[in-house]
Amino acid sequence: MSHIKRCFTVFVLSLFISNTIYAASNNKVTNGRLEPEYTDPVTGMEFVLVQGGSYEMGDTFGDGEIDELPVHEVIIDDFYIGKYEVTNSQFRRFVLETGYKTSAENVGKGYAVSKEGADDRGLKSGVNWMHPLWPYDNIAKKLDHPVLQVSWFDAVQFIRWLNRKSGKKFRLPTEAQWEYAARDRGKQNKYTWSNGKPDDNISDESVKKFREYKYWEIWDGYNDGYVYTSPVGKFKPNGLGIYDMAGNVSEWCHDLYDGEYYKKNNSKDNPEGPQIGNAHVVRGGSWNYKPFYLRNANRIFVLPDNWSYYLGFRLVMEP
């Protein structure tokens, strides 16, 4: 074999080995195909591949709110979504490394849970992501629970840190992506657990039994065993292997909110919400949400500088 041929052979072999090592370390692409799961080496967050497709987005059951109409076709590209909500442990690493102060910490107050339920949205001193439910509540034994008391701005700062650390492109899900994933790639599922008895951490008999709430609607006959938040992944996943998309904590989305956006938007492909607005979409419902607000199509909105005992987030990653 000539010297030129030997050099060329070595070059091709080196390129092949290099690409193979890159694919293995990247853990996303093998033989031209996206891997079904991805684990972020920085935080240990696990992500599930959601293969793209089209679906009818909105209130397909006809028993929702006016802002869930009209039902309309949406086309979604492939994306990865967090298998779990972002946990206290993962958020703590970000804070310890950056010294970041959340919105609640800067103000010195957070929306706390009260015994009666009537003053749940009352601001209390000392309530923040480290003390999420009341001032003497502590995350020390709840590091595997979803982080609470984070504003939309707090979630974005976490994402910016993670993008710098990982070199990937993480962000909050669009509400079209969120609903598509919650409905197991757009299936006719009213809830993330399909259409039957729930299997998530929601407003249930536990809340009714252990709290003196007077005006609290629950899912009668169901007991999830948790009064407040639960560790992520404690209940059954949906059909895609994603956990807690209904209940546990409500999840910030990328999109700004417009109650008539479904009417106004003419783009089917990967919609990202309106360009103008004051509040952001929140999806999924939390540990204290009544059945109506746990539907996959349900949309609520919260100002981005707000935080509470029911607000958290999960991430998506672009392939």
If asked whether residues 205 and 78 sit together in one domain, one would say yes
Please state the rounded mean pLDDT for residues 183-212.
89
pLDDT given for residue 308 in this prediction: 94
Q: What is the torsion angle, in degrees rounded to the nearest 10, for the CA atoms of residue 194, residue 229, residue 318 and residue 282?
A: 80
Q: Which residue has the tokens 């299936």?
A: 187
- Averaged confidence pLDDT in the chain: 89
CA distance 308 to 266: 34
Please work out, in degrees rounded to the nearest 5, the angle formed at the alpha carbon of residue 240 by the alpha carbons of 202 and 70.
70
**Res. 19 pLDDT band, cuts 50 70 90:** very low
If asked whether residues 14 and 103 sit together in one domain, one would say no
If asked whether residues 140 and 5 sit together in one domain, one would say no
**Antiparallel, parallel or unpaired: β 72-76 and 53-57:** antiparallel
Please state the rounded mean pLDDT for residues 80-99.
98
CA distance 236 to 243: 7
Neighbours of 312 (CB within 10 A): 32
**What is the per-residue pLDDT across 206-253, written as a single tens digit (0 to 9) for each?**
887 776 666 678 898 999 999 999 999 999 999 999 999 999 999 999
If asked whether residues 10 and 133 sit together in one domain, one would say no
Q: With contact defined as beta carbons under 8 Å apart, do 262 and 67 qualify? A: yes
- Please say if the pLDDT value at position 281 is more than 90: yes
If asked whether residues 71 and 116 sit together in one domain, one would say yes
**Res. 174 pLDDT band, cuts 50 70 90:** very high
If asked whether residues 236 and 294 sit together in one domain, one would say yes
> In the chain, what's the furthest Cα-to-Cα distance?
87
Residue 137 is part of a domain; what is its CATH number?
Answer: 3.90.1580.10
Amino acid identity, position 299: R
If asked whether residues 215 and 166 sit together in one domain, one would say yes
CA distance 202 to 143: 20
Please state the rounded mean pLDDT for residues 257-261.
97
pLDDT given for residue 201 in this prediction: 95
pLDDT given for residue 171 in this prediction: 98
Which tokens go with 275?
């360009």
**Res. 116 pLDDT band, cuts 50 70 90:** low
Which tokens go with 264?
């106004």
- Is pLDDT larger for residue 17 or for residue 233? 233
Closest to 233 (Cα-Cα) out of 46, 33, 31, 39: 46
If asked whether residues 172 and 290 sit together in one domain, one would say yes
**What is the per-residue pLDDT across 23-47, written as a single tens digit (0 to 9) for each?**
333 445 655 688 999 999 999 999 9
**Res. 278 pLDDT band, cuts 50 70 90:** very high
Domain residues for the domain of 64 are 36-317
DSSP 292: G
The structural domain count of the chain equals 2
**What is the per-residue pLDDT across 57-75, written as a single tens digit (0 to 9) for each?**
999 999 999 999 999 999 9
If asked whether residues 25 and 40 sit together in one domain, one would say no
Please say whether the dihedral angle defined by the alpha carbons of residues 45, 49, 55 and 61, taken in this order, is positive or negative: negative
pLDDT given for residue 17 in this prediction: 36
CA distance 74 to 76: 6
If asked whether residues 254 and 130 sit together in one domain, one would say yes
If asked whether residues 18 and 160 sit together in one domain, one would say no
**What is the per-residue pLDDT across 285-305, written as a single tens digit (0 to 9) for each?**
999 888 899 999 999 999 999
If asked whether residues 15 and 156 sit together in one domain, one would say no
